[in-house]
Amino acid sequence: MEEKRKHPRTEINEPAYVSSGGSVMSCVVRNISAEGAAIDIENPAFVPQRFRLVMAHDSSVRECQVAWIQRNRIGLTFVEVTST
């Protein structure tokens, strides 16, 4: 399969949280790059189109948008946050 990403992904296996509208779900980040990540989550049907990904080890937060869903894995694109 042809690689379409601009930035290479780093394989990791780190716990994180999907946070949106006061709801928090645990997930595992499987790979990550400057542009996005792939996470495994128990029930992708409950993940909104946009949310915050909070890394468990350092509490870093990234705004995300769902790029694709395949079974329990979700591909994410990191979204730039603009101040108004």
Dump pLDDT digits (tens) for 4-40: 657 788 999 999 999 999 999 999 999 999 999 999 9
Residue 24: inside a domain, yes or no?
yes
Burial tier of 59 (Cβ tally within 10 Å: 0-12, 13-18, 19+)? exposed
Residue 81: inside a domain, yes or no?
no
* Model pLDDT for residues 33-84, shown as the tens digit of each residue: 999 999 999 999 999 999 999 999 999 999 999 999 999 999 999 998 766 5
Residue 45: inside a domain, yes or no?
yes
Domain count, the chain: 1
Residue 79: inside a domain, yes or no?
no
Instruction: Report the pLDDT value the prediction gives residue 1, as an integer from 0 to 100.
Output: 45
Residue 56: inside a domain, yes or no?
yes
Boundaries of domain holding 50: 1-8+19-60
Residue 47 contacts residue 25 (beta carbons within 8 Å): yes
Instruction: Report the pLDDT value the prediction gives residue 84, as an integer from 0 to 100.
Output: 59
Radius of gyration of the chain (CA): 12
CA distance 67 to 22: 22
For Cα atoms 65, 1, 16, give the angle at the middle one, nearest 5 degrees.
35
Instruction: Report the pLDDT value the prediction gives residue 5, as an integer from 0 to 100.
Output: 55
Residue 33: inside a domain, yes or no?
yes
